[in-house]
Amino acid sequence: MSKKNYLGQKVLINYNKWVADREYQKLISEKLKLNFSDEGIYESVKIWSFLYRNTNLNPFG
């Protein structure tokens, strides 16, 4: 059997690095061919914190 690449080219993102490193955010934006903007970044952190607050998967401690 051959491997299929249904998604095309993939960009892997290290979430912890993305949250903490503005230059990494810019690099990912370039790889995705998007204009960089950190608008709303802290909103996404608050959402993830809320979602994982009561689980063992809590990335914020």
Cβ contacts of 26 within 8 Å, gap of 6 or more: 36
| Matching residue, tokens 């290290």 | 14
Structure tokens at 10: 């993939």
14: amino acid identity, one letter: N
Contact 41, 25 (CB under 8 A): yes
| Matching residue, tokens 């998967």 | 57
**What digits encode the pLDDT tens for the residues 3-37?**
777 777 888 999 889 888 989 989 998 998 888 88
Domain boundaries, the chain: 15-52
The pLDDT, as a whole number, for residue 23 is 93
Share of the chain above pLDDT 90, in %: 13
